[in-house]
A = this chain, B = another copy of it.
Amino acid sequence: MSETARRVVLASRPVGEPTPDNFRLEEFPVPQPGPGEVLLRTVWLSLDPYMRGRMSDAPSYAPPVQIGQTMVAGTISQVAATNYPNFAVGDLVTSYAGWQTHAVSDGKGLRKIDPKGAPPSAFLGVLGMPGLTAYAGLLEIGKPQPGETVVVAAASGPVGSMVGQIAQIKGARAIGIAGGPKKCAFVKNDLKFADCLDHRAPDFPERLAAACPKGIDVYFENVGGAVFEAVLPLLNPFARVPVCGLVSTYNATEMLTSGPDRLPVLMRAVLTKRLTLRGFIVTDFAAKQPEFLREATAWLKEGKITYCEDVVEGLENAPGALIGLLKGENFGKVVVRVAPESKR
């Protein structure tokens, strides 16, 4: 049998918004696992905002994907062949196999998932990296107290939706921000946030102020830009701002935009309100993973958290889906169904 594998590589670096030209779909022979290795078939592929950063060679916390290299991604993969006693054919694992149908692994970084706990794709979202990002950033940096107000943007997305739901579980009042009435309705009605505001409304800053009559104690920053500008004057003394992402700026071609210069305003607010701003990346909190998985699985089973997936069919549609995600066109966690799960 000479099955053909497929992968999406970075064809060129984007300037501003990525375009389909920045990606190239390639075929390659299915690799064979060596001693101590397993062959993985990708079932689900996760698309996430951080991927825009890896397409650039600007300095960041992780090295960029090189031109011609397979795009990085977390996956749910299934063991298709094994020379590694810890894994059996059919096992489902989380992996960083990237944008490809097949990958060989020496087992490092693979984690078996329990498909009885939740559908496999949930381990890329609500029970995966976005879930842990929300959990650790909110609880370790944001530290919401009962009765406090927690604001989060991209509230229908995988991180934002968990931030608000966990905040409410902890007794805080979650105010979401999202793009458009459909997403706002989902956040209010399905995710049960106290409120959700459309950042596209012309009077968005006034609406946000009205929705936060006691000010904002925690602002979970995952978008940057105009939303942060509306949040800043509402922050209470001793407010905490976990900074997890700035997706509104990821496609910017020029970091130094025209003035006015708002840096002195921010620093004055940090000083006089005694704010804490702290950047983090989910891997900084890898040690919280077991505790997170235990708690989040329980919340899911108890119906305390809800999630929403935006399912894209086929690896060939991943580039378009990532381009859309960076524009906020997705609705919920974007996962690509690369192949059906084989019988276990």
Answer yes or no: A299 CB below 8 A from chain B CBs.
no
Once A224-B264, A237-B61, A279-B275 are accepted as A-B contacts, the answer to whether A270 and B243 lie under 8 Å apart by CB is yes
Answer yes or no: A294 CB below 8 A from chain B CBs.
no
Contacts of A259 in B (CB 8 A): 256-261
Answer yes or no: A145 CB below 8 A from chain B CBs.
no
**A256 nearest CB neighbor, chain B only:** B260
B276–A276 contact, CB under 8 A?
yes
Q: How far is the CB of A177 from chain B (nearest CB, A)?
A: 17
Answer yes or no: A249 CB below 8 A from chain B CBs.
yes
Answer yes or no: A182 CB below 8 A from chain B CBs.
no
Our pick among B224, B263, B272, B280 for the contact of A279 (Cβ within 8 Å) is B272
Q: A residues within 8 Å of B by Cβ?
A: 59-61, 221, 224-225, 228, 237, 243-246, 249, 252, 255-281, 284
A262–B260 contact, CB under 8 A?
no
Our pick among B261, B276, B281, B284 for the contact of A263 (Cβ within 8 Å) is B261
B276–A59 contact, CB under 8 A?
no
Q: How far is the CA of A60 from the CA of B270 in the complex (A)?
A: 11
* Sample of 28 A–B contacts (CB below 8 Å): A59-B272, A60-B272, A61-B272, A61-B273, A61-B274, A224-B267, A243-B267, A246-B264, A246-B268, A246-B271, A249-B267, A255-B265, A256-B259, A256-B260, A256-B264, A257-B259, A257-B260, A257-B261, A257-B264, A263-B263, A263-B265, A263-B266, A269-B279, A270-B279, A273-B279, A274-B281, A276-B276, A278-B278
